């Protein structure tokens, strides 16, 4: 039994609230336990210069944490004058994950800009961002179909993500901050609904992990992500 009462293979309480922001084409509040992220999807009728004239679209992402989303206040990266390496890594991961399930040719020469803003952090902000951003993206693209801008929804399949770690020798799914900070191994899995992986990130913080442990974490992650797909489908069907 874990500090929050969960079993080893259990997700935190997951909630996705659609249409959370009034003005964005797609907007959700995604909650993984006490981690809360606002994900918006904005459509622009243009593409980056390297894609102009190629008849294909683009999906990209930006990620940030509010100054008091954590235990102590962190200054805004804009105030520091540069984006940190962790932020670059996470927003690239979010963009890659969403492009993996989007038919960019069907999207045409337009872009969808995803913004993931962490308003409260308790571990797993990147995995929550990817899981919520997918719902925001689908809502934004559905709106384009309803307006007659697109002939059909340019989504090939779903994508979601979850963290897995080893804490005190035990494989735990969907780590909160306390567990993440104590983990001997921390892994993040991003997977599509056809059971294919977009990305697997894994780091041993102390002792290296074995193949058997890696396989155990993969099995736990796959089971958890399949539950996330069910939650996404249920939310989008409302």
Q: What is the structure's pLDDT at 76?
A: 86
Q: What is the structure's pLDDT at 159?
A: 98
pLDDT at position 1 over 80:
no
Distance CA 127, CA 54 (A): 32
Judged on CB neighbours under 10 Å (0-12, 13-18, 19+), 52 is exposed
Which uninterrupted H or E stretch holds 119?
strand 111-120
Q: How many helices (H) and strands (E) does the chain have?
A: 6, 9
pLDDT at position 211 over 90:
yes
Spacing of C-alpha 139 from chain mean position = 15
Q: What is the structure's pLDDT at 203?
A: 95
pLDDT digits (tens, 9 = 90+) for 7-44: 999 999 999 999 999 999 999 999 999 999 999 999 99
pLDDT at position 182 over 80:
yes
Q: If pLDDT is split at 50, 70 and 90, which confidence band does 175 have?
A: very high
Q: What is the structure's pLDDT at 221?
A: 98
Q: How many CB atoms lie within 10 A of CB 177?
A: 17
Q: If pLDDT is split at 50, 70 and 90, which confidence band does 82 have?
A: confident
Beta bridge partners of 191: 160, 197
Q: What is the pTM of this model?
A: 0.96
What residues have CB less than 8 Å from 111, skipping those under 6 apart?
Answer: 43, 44, 46, 47, 48, 57, 58, 59, 60
pLDDT at position 172 over 80:
yes
In contact, 47 and 57? CB cutoff 8 Å: yes
In contact, 64 and 139? CB cutoff 8 Å: no
- Of residues 175 and 1, the one with the higher pLDDT is 175
- Per-residue pLDDT, averaged over 197-223, amounts to 95
Q: If pLDDT is split at 50, 70 and 90, which confidence band does 3 have?
A: confident
| Backbone Cα Rg of the chain | 18
- Per-residue pLDDT, averaged over 151-169, amounts to 97
List % helix, strand, coil for the chain (3-state, nearest 5).
35, 30, 35
Distance CA 171, CA 94 (A): 25
pLDDT at position 215 over 80:
yes
Mean residue pLDDT of the chain comes to 96
In contact, 32 and 42? CB cutoff 8 Å: no
pLDDT at position 50 over 80:
yes
Spacing of C-alpha 227 from chain mean position = 15
pLDDT digits (tens, 9 = 90+) for 69-81: 999 998 888 778 8
């Amino acid at each position: 039994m874990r500090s929050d009462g969960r079993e080893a293979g259990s997700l935190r309480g997951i909630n996705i609230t659609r249409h959370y922001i009034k003005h964005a084409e797609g907007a959700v509040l995604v909650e993984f336990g006490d981690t809360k992220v606002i994900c918006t999807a904005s459509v622009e009728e243009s593409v980056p210069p390297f894609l102009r004239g190629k008849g294909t679209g683009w999906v990209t992402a930006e990620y940030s944490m509010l100054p008091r989303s954590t235990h102590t206040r962190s200054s805004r990266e804009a105030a520091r004058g540069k984006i940190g390496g962790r932020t670059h890594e996470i927003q690239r991961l979010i963009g890659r994950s969403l492009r993996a399930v989007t038919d960019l040719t069907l999207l045409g020469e337009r872009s969808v800009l995803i913004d993931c803003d962490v308003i409260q952090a308790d571990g797993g902000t990147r995995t929550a961002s990817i899981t919520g951003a997918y719902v925001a993206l689908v809502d934004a693209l559905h709106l384009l179909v309803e307006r007659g801008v697109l002939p059909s929804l340019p989504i090939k399949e779903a994508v979601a993500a979850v963290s897995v770690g080893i804490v005190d020798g035990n494989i735990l799914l969907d780590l909160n901050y306390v567990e993440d900070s104590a983990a001997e191994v921390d892994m993040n899995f991003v997977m599509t609904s056809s059971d294919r992986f977009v990305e697997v990130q894994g780091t041993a913080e102390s002792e290296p992990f074995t193949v058997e442990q890696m396989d155990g974490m993969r099995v736990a992650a796959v089971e958890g992500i399949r539950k996330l797909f069910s939650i996404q489908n249920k939310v989008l069907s409302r």
